[in-house]
A and B are shown apart, each in its own frame.
Chain A
Amino acid sequence: MNTYSTTCFDNCWHSADTPCPHFIDCIASGQQCDGSHNEHASTRSADAQGTAATERLESFKRRLLFVEHDVPVIFVGMGTCGLANGAQAVHDALKAECEVRGINVTLIPVGCMGYCAREVIVDVKLPGRPRISYCEVKTKDVPAIIEHTLLGGEIIEEKLLGLYEPGETEGWEDAAVLGQLPFFAKQQKVNLENCGVIDPESIDQYLARGGYRALSAAINGRSGQEVIDDVLKAGLRGRGGGGFPTGKKWQLARDTQADKKYLICNADEGDPGAFMDRALLEGDPHRVVEGMIIAAYAIGASYGYIYCRAEYPLAIRRLELTLAAAREYGLLGKNILGSGFDFDMRIKKGAGAFVCGEETALMHSIEGRRGMPRPRPPYPTTAGLFGKPTVINNVETFANVTTVFKNGPDWYAGIGTESSKGTKIFALSGKVRNVGLVEVPMGVTLREVVFDIGGGIPDERKFKAVQIGGPSGGALPESVIDTPIDYESLKKVGAMMGSGGLVVMDESTCMVDLAKYFMTFIQSESCGKCIPCREGTKRLLEILDRLTSSYRDESTQEESLLRFQGMVYLERLASVIKDTSLCGLGQTAANPVLSTLHYFREEYEAHLYERHCPAGACRELLTYYIDTDKCNGCGVCARKCPENAIIGEKKKAHYILEDKCIRCDQCRVNCNFDAISVN
C-alpha cells in the first residue's frame, strides 16, 4: 500500500466516483466493513482477510507518521519565512550532499513550525529515535549535519533547537525538548498542530494524523442543523476580526431558502504584520479545506471559493494541490463520503486591494467587479455572491471548525474564557526576540505572549507598546499589557482582536509616526466610495503630517497655526469618520490615531509644542550635524549628498546647511569616521 487511494482489501469499493462512508473510519481504526455496501459498520469482518487489511492500514500509517521507517528523514521548513532565510539553498545542499555521498534519505519540505526567528529549521528523524529539530541552519552546516547526525547519530548541540520527544538513547537524555522551550511552553498548538510537522502536499500524511475525521464525524448520518448546533455549543467566533458567532452566521444562511448557496473562505490577509493565514495555508491546507466542506454541508452550499491574495503564490500552489488530492480521494465533488452531499470549490486570486477583506467588497471582486463594499443589510447570508445566500469566514475560522469536530464541541468549549472560546493564532513580530507564529488559548495576557513566549525586547531596550488588530486596532502600552486576550477585554482598552497581527514596539518607535503610517496605509487603500473614509482619512493624514513637519517646510505663520487647529479638530473628525463610514475599513480607520492619542498624549504634545520627536523617528524633525573634531574632510558626504547641502574645503571639517538638508541619512551612512550625528 503506497497511498490511501489504493484500496485496503480486495472488496473495498471506495473511489471518487463510488465513495464509501467508512473510508475515513477505516483509516482511523482499521477495516470497518466487508465491502458489501452495507450501511452499518457492525458488519466488519473478523476473518483473516479483515485482520490482514487492518494490519496493512496500521503499518502504512506508522510509515506515514515515521514511527516506523528504514531510511532517515530530513524535514526542511520551507514556508515563506523559511525560504526568505535561505531554506531552498539548504534543501538543495542537503540533497546534493546526500547524493554525492550515496546516502539514502527522505527529504521532505514542510511548512512553518512557527519559530520564524530561528529559521532555517531542519528536522532530522533517524529510525527509532525522536525527531531532532535544528535551527538557524546555513548551507555550511549541511556537511556537519550529515556527518555527525545522519551518519554518526549524534546531536549537534550548537544548532539544536530541541527534540520532539525526550531522548532515551544514550547521549540524548539531556537534550532539550521542544515543548519545554519558553517559546513553546505556554502555547497550545491545536490548529497549528500539523504546521511544520507534516508534508503539506501529502494528503496521506494528513489522513494518517487524523485528517478528515472531523468531516466524517460531522456529516455521516447527521443533519446540517445538528452540525450548526455543535458549532454553537462550541462557542466558536469568527477569527477574521469582528468575532461574530460562526454558528449564528451559518444558521442565518441555512434558514434562507434558495436554489443555490455559496461558501467563501476569506484568505485575503491584507493586514500589514499578519501572516497567520499564510502559514496555515502553506503548512496545513487540508485542515482549512476540511473545515470548509463541513461548513458547506451545514448551510447547504453547493459551491465554494477560496479568495487568496496573489501575493501568496506558495499558498495558492499548495491549495491547488490540496483541492486536486481531495477530489481524487472523493472528499470533494459529488456524493462526498457517500452522504449524498455535493460540494466543490475553486481558488480565486485576489488582485491586491486591502478593502477586499470586507465581505461585500470581496464578493464584488469574485464577481469580477471593482472591490467596493455596499451597504448592509441585506447581509450576505440573505443575498450575497451573485445574489444568493453566502457565508464568508476566514481561514483560521475554518481551521477551527475542523478542530471543533475533530475533538468535539465540549472539548473546544473548555478552552478559553467565558465569552471567547478556543485558541487564537498570533503573528508576533517587530521588536521582540522570538518573532514567529504563536497559538495560545484565549484569555492569556498580552504580557505572557510578548514576554514569556516572545522573549521580550532585544538589545536591552524598553518595551513601549504592542500594536494589535492591524490598521483597525490599537497600540497598547505597558499599563494595560496585563489585559487578557479575548474579544471583549481588548475592545475595552481601545483595541480589537483583529485577525491576529501583534507588532511589538520599543522606545525607538514614535507613536505619532506609527499613527501616520497606518493612516497612510488606510488612505491609499480606501476604495473611495464613501466620502467620510475617502476625504476624512486624507484630512486625518494631513493633520498628522503637519504635526511631524519641521518649521523649515513652512512658508507662512498660518501654516504653523494650522498644526494646532488640526489637533483641536482631530478627535471630532475621527468620530465623524467612525459614525458615518460605509464599511468596517472606514469605521475603524481612526482607531490607530485615537488609541495612540489616548495612551501617548505626551508624545503628540512634544511633536506639537516642541517640534521634537522623543523617539527620534520622525525624520523631518531631526537635525544633522558634523562633529568637527572627527571630520577629516574626506568629502565623501558632500559627494553623496543629493541636495548639495554639505560644504567644506578639502581636508578640513565640513558643514551641513540645515535649510538644504532633506535628512536622507546618506551622509551618516557613508561617513567612515562616525563624524555625523543626529539630534
Chain B
Amino acid sequence: MKMDATKIPERTQKVYEKYPSGDPSCLIDLLQDVQEQYGYLPDAEMQNVARHVDIPVSRVYGVATFYNQFRFQPLGAYVIKVCRGTACHVKGSLDILRMLENELGIKAGETTKDLKFTIETVACIGACSIAPVIAVNDEFHGGLTTKSLQKLLKSYRKKAQNEEVPHEHV
C-alpha cells in the first residue's frame, strides 16, 4: 500500500505521542506498538519510526530483523502457532508442523495466498501439560495427533470460508 512517508498516519499518531522523540532506547517498544496496529511493520512506518527516535532507517531495520517478533508481511486471518518446545517435540510436534505445512502448502513463517492462514513456530507456549499444542489466534488446542489435527483444520477452513473479510488488512 501507498503511504505518505512524511506525515504520520492517524492510525499510529497516538503511538508516537507515547514516546519522547529522539530517545533510541524506546525503539523496540515503539516497533511493538506499531506492529500491534497493523499486524506487521509497513515500510513507511519504519521510516516514521526512524525519524521519531532520530536514528538511521538502516538501524531500525537492523533491530527489527534481529527479533523474531517483528514481521514485514501482513498476517493471515488465522495465525497458527505451532509450539516447538522440548516437551512438544518429544510428543511429536514436528509431525504436527509437517502435516500443517503439507496441508496448507506453505512453510512455517509464511502466509497462504488468500491471507487465510499463517503458520508460525514458537519456542515454547508454556502449555507443556497438553503437549503437543498449537494455538490458533491464541485459542489453544492440545494433545494433538495428526488425525485430530486434520479435523481441527477442517473446521477452521470452514470458518475461514464463511468469513469473507476476517479482519482488517492494510
Binding site for B on A (CB under 8 A): 80-81, 83-85, 116-117, 119, 269-275, 278, 310-312, 348-349, 351-354, 365-372, 386, 427, 429-431, 435-436, 467, 470, 501, 503, 505, 509, 514, 517-518, 521, 525, 527, 619, 642, 664-666, 669
Contact = CB atoms under 8 A, between A and B. Distances in A.
B29 A348 contact: yes
Given A366-B25, A669-B146, A351 B67 contact: yes
A676 to B, nearest CB: 13
Interface string B137-162: 00010100011001000000000000
27 contacts: A81-B127, A81-B130, A83-B140, A84-B127, A116-B129, A269-B126, A270-B123, A270-B124, A272-B124, A273-B85, A274-B124, A351-B28, A351-B69, A353-B68, A354-B123, A368-B26, A430-B128, A431-B91, A435-B87, A503-B90, A514-B90, A517-B86, A664-B102, A665-B95, A665-B146, A666-B102, A669-B146
B98 A430 contact: no
Interface string B69-105: 1100000000000001111011100110011001000
B62 interface: yes
B27 interface: yes
Given A278-B126, A310-B69, A436-B129, A272 B86 contact: yes
Contacts of B26: 368
A368 B63 contact: yes
B86 A666 contact: no
Closest 10 CB pairs of A and B: A116-B129, A352-B68, A351-B67, A273-B86, A429-B128, A368-B27, A84-B140, A429-B87, A272-B85, A275-B126
A131 to B, nearest CB: 22
Contacts of B124: 270-275
B53 interface: yes
Nearest to A351: B67
Contacts of B27: 368-369
A273 B128 contact: yes
Given A116-B129, A272-B84, A501-B86, A369 B91 contact: no
A519 to B, nearest CB: 12
Contact of B142 (A84, A278, A518): A84
A349 B67 contact: no
Nearest to B83: A272
B130 A85 contact: yes
B146 A427 contact: no
B47 interface: no
A431 B129 CA distance: 10
A371 to B, nearest CB: 7
A467 B86 CA distance: 9
Given A353-B68, A430-B86, A430-B90, A369 B63 contact: yes
A349 B128 contact: no
B140 A351 contact: no
A271 B86 CA distance: 9
Given A275-B126, A369-B63, A503-B86, 15 more contacts: A85-B140, A273-B128, A275-B124, A352-B67, A371-B66, A386-B25, A429-B128, A430-B131, A431-B90, A431-B91, A435-B87, A503-B87, A664-B102, A665-B95, A669-B99
B14 to A, nearest CB: 18
A280 to B, nearest CB: 12
Contacts of B94: 619
A587 to B, nearest CB: 20
A352 B69 contact: yes
Nearest to B35: A351
Nearest to B53: A368
B3 interface: no
B87 A351 contact: no
A527 B126 CA distance: 23
A370 B146 contact: no
A369 B56 CA distance: 13
Interface residues of B, number: 44
Nearest to A365: B28
A527 B125 CA distance: 22
A664 B29 CA distance: 41
Which of A349, A365, A370, A619 gathers the greatest number of chain B CB atoms within 10 Å?
A: A370
A427 B86 CA distance: 12
A521 B127 contact: no
Contacts of B98: 664-665
Contacts, number: 142
Nearest to B68: A352
B24 interface: yes
A524 to B, nearest CB: 9
B66 A353 contact: yes
B126 A367 contact: no
B66 A272 contact: no
Nearest to B62: A370
Contacts of A527: 66
Contacts of B5: none
A495 B26 CA distance: 38
Nearest to A668: B146
Nearest to A640: B102
Contact of B90 (A271, A470, A509, A664): A509
Nearest to B30: A368
A406 B112 CA distance: 54
A6 B98 CA distance: 58
A42 B163 CA distance: 70
B119 interface: no
A642 B102 contact: yes
A352 B121 CA distance: 12
B8 to A, nearest CB: 19
A243 B127 CA distance: 26
Which of B125, B128, B150 gathers the greatest number of chain A CB atoms within 10 Å?
A: B128
Which of A116, A271, A272, A348 gathers the greatest number of chain B CB atoms within 10 Å?
A: A272
Contacts of B62: 370
B34 interface: no
A119 B24 contact: no
B12 interface: no
Contact of B63 (A83, A354, A370): A370
B28 to A, nearest CB: 5
Interface string B20-63: 00001111110110000000000000000000010000000011
A270 B68 CA distance: 12
A272 B69 contact: no
Nearest to B135: A84
B134 to A, nearest CB: 11
Contacts of A275: 124, 126, 128
Contacts of B24: 367-369
A505 B86 CA distance: 10
A119 B69 CA distance: 29
Nearest to A504: B90
Contacts of B29: 348-349
A386 B25 CA distance: 10
Nearest to A354: B123
Nearest to B122: A311
A318 B112 CA distance: 35
Which of B126, B130, B133, B150 gathers the greatest number of chain A CB atoms within 10 Å?
A: B126
A349 B68 contact: no
Contacts of B127: 80-81, 84
A275 B131 CA distance: 13
